[in-house]
Every structure is written in structure tokens, then in C-alpha cells.
Structure 1
Amino acid sequence: MRLKELRTERGISLRTLSKICGISSSYLSELEKGKYEATESKIIRLALALGVSTDELLGFNEIVKNIRSNLK
């Protein structure tokens, strides 16, 4: 998950993101460290709060891009 990368690119603190999406900042911190796996509903809330697709949040866009470049 690209949570920390996307959050910092946008200059959003954990506390602010927590308030926007209704997920505790401690839980978000653990998600960023890879200690937890987010539920589908949390992934959707985070993507909406960050203004990205769920695919982008989960890093699927990069995976598809790499696969396409390897197929050429």
C-alpha cells in the first residue's frame, strides 16, 4: 500500500488524514508500517480522502505498468 507516500506527497499529516477519513492516527501509522492490513471499507475511505483510486492507493497501477513494460 502506498499510503505514506501518497499522504506525504500531499503534505497531509497522520492526524489530519485521521480526521478526514475517521480512522485513528495510531491505526494509520501501523498501516503505513505494514503491521496491519486495511479492510475494503478503510481502503475506500483512505482513497477518497487522498483523492486517488483504490488501485493507485494499493499500488496496482505500478504493477500493471511494470507488467506492460516487461511484455514489450
Structure 2
Amino acid sequence: MRIKELREARGLTRYRVARDSGLDWGRLRDAEEGKAGLRLDSVVKLADVLGVSLDELCGREWPKSA
């Protein structure tokens, strides 16, 4: 996931994102570093806090049509 990239691009601290999304700070850190996964409800909250879609948060790109 692109949590850290999107968080930093918005000038948000890890603490603020954790607080606003209801996540434990350490859990968010581990998710940013790829050391742990998150439940879907937590990913949805993160997307809302960061103002992005789930696809954007997860780095999903749609194939370009021919």
C-alpha cells in the first residue's frame, strides 16, 4: 500500500493519521513499512482520512484499453 507516500504528500504526521483513522500508531507504522497488513475496515478509514480511493491507496492501476 502507498500509505506513507500519500500521508507525506499531504503533510500529515503518522500520529495524526493514526488518530483520525482510529488505528494504533504502531500498527500504522508496521503497515507503512510492509511488516503487517490491515483489516479492510481500517483500510477504508485510512483512504477516507487521506482523501483517496481504495484503488489509489492500494496502488491499483487499471489496464489501459486498446
**Partner of 1:22 in structure 2?**
22
CA deviation after TM superposition for structure 1 residue 24, in Å? 1.0
**Cα deviation per residue 1:5-44 (whole Å; 9 max; x = unaligned)?**
0000000001011111110111100001101111110110
Q: Which amino acid in 2 is paired with 1:42?
A: S
Q: What is the alpha-carbon distance in structure 1 between the residues aligned to residue 26 and residue 14 of structure 2?
A: 8
**Partner of 1:51 in structure 2?**
51
User: TM-score by structure 1 length?
Assistant: 0.84
User: TM-score by structure 2 length?
Assistant: 0.91
> Aligned runs of 1:1-72 on 2, under 5 Å?
1-61=1-61, 64=62, 67-68=63-64
Larger Rg belongs to: 1
Superposition RMSD in Å? 1.2
* Structure 2 unaligned blocks of 5 or more: none
